[in-house]
Structure 1
Amino acid sequence: MSDFEELANRKVSAHLSATYSAMVAVCLALPLPVTLPTGTVSNLEGVPAVRRLMELTLDQPMPETMKAHVFAAAAFWLGAMDCYGLLIREEEWQVSRAHSAAANLLMADGHLEDLAAWLADQE
């Protein structure tokens, strides 16, 4: 794997982690708090938890647009995880996958920011 590919993988991995941490914080502030795994979280724990978050979002007592932000953030994060899963397999590495993962994470971040702003206004 080239230095560029390794750097791209590290950056995507760090962004995945940062976005997941933001999701953890926002989920704890939901009207019906949702606790996602924390600490050293593997994809074997994180992915199913985020999938479950998508299901639980439907029962949150909040406006549909806010539910959509939770749902979209989770979906974009999962999409980024899928891209990352391919990136770390050397034979599957494509620069377009690195860009797709980053784009998914930027979208997830935007939805989490909108949701966090709404939650802050509710306090």
Structure 2
Amino acid sequence: MADSEDQAMKTLARHLSQAYTVLATLCLNLPVPVTLPTGAVSNVETVPAVRRIMDITEDQPMPEEQQALLFAACSFWLGGLDIYGLLIRDFHTARAHSAAANLIMCDDTMHDLIVWLADNQK
């Protein structure tokens, strides 16, 4: 891989990790808290956990709009991770931008949900 490709991969990996950390913290602050694996975890643990959040989103006692934000954040994060996996095998700049776009959307949806949660704390 070229240096620019290596740097793009490192940046995406860092962004995936940071977004997951925010998601895990967000989930601890849901009306019904959910604990995601943290620390030195791999995709073997994180992917099923994030998928499980998507499965139980409707069980959270929040308005439908906030449930949709949680579901979307998980979906965008998983999409970013999937694209990252493709990049490992076959790097292409457009694909790297697509992974980054997924992570930006993940960040934006999590931000909106975090604001709602902060405004609605008991």
Q: TM-score range by the shorter chain?
A: over 0.9
In structure 1, stretches of 5+ residues that fail to align are none
Deviation at 1:56, TM superposition (A): 1.1
**What TM-score do the two structures reach when normalised by structure 1?**
0.96
Q: Return the alpha-carbon distance in structure 2 between the equivalents of residues 53 and 41 of structure 1.
A: 17
Which residue number corresponds to residue 46 of structure 1? 46
The code of the aligned residue for 2:25 comes to A
Please give the root-mean-square deviation of Cα atoms over the aligned residues, in Å: 0.6
**What TM-score do the two structures reach when normalised by structure 2?**
0.97
Q: Return the alpha-carbon distance in structure 2 between the equivalents of residues 38 and 76 of structure 1.
A: 19
Q: Return the alpha-carbon distance in structure 2 between the equivalents of residues 64 and 82 of structure 1.
A: 27
Which residue number corresponds to residue 87 of structure 2? 87
Q: Return the alpha-carbon distance in structure 1 between the equivalents of residues 5 and 87 of structure 2.
A: 9
* 3-state SS of paired residue (2:59): coil
The code of the aligned residue for 1:35 comes to T
* 3-state SS of paired residue (1:88): helix
- Deviating above 3 A after TM superposition, structure 1's stretches of 4 or more consecutive aligned residues are none
Q: Return the alpha-carbon distance in structure 1 between the equivalents of residues 51 and 95 of structure 2.
A: 21
Which residue number corresponds to residue 103 of structure 1? 101
Q: Return the alpha-carbon distance in structure 2 between the equivalents of residues 44 and 95 of structure 1.
A: 26
Q: Return the alpha-carbon distance in structure 2 between the equivalents of residues 67 and 17 of structure 1.
A: 23
Match status 1:60 vs 2:60: yes
Report the number of matched residues. 121
Deviation at 1:88, TM superposition (A): 1.4
Q: Return the alpha-carbon distance in structure 1 between the equivalents of residues 22 and 69 of structure 2.
A: 13
Deviation at 1:97, TM superposition (A): 1.1
Which residue number corresponds to residue 22 of structure 1? 22
Deviation at 1:82, TM superposition (A): 0.5
| Percent of aligned pairs sharing the same letter | 57
* 3-state SS of paired residue (1:93): coil
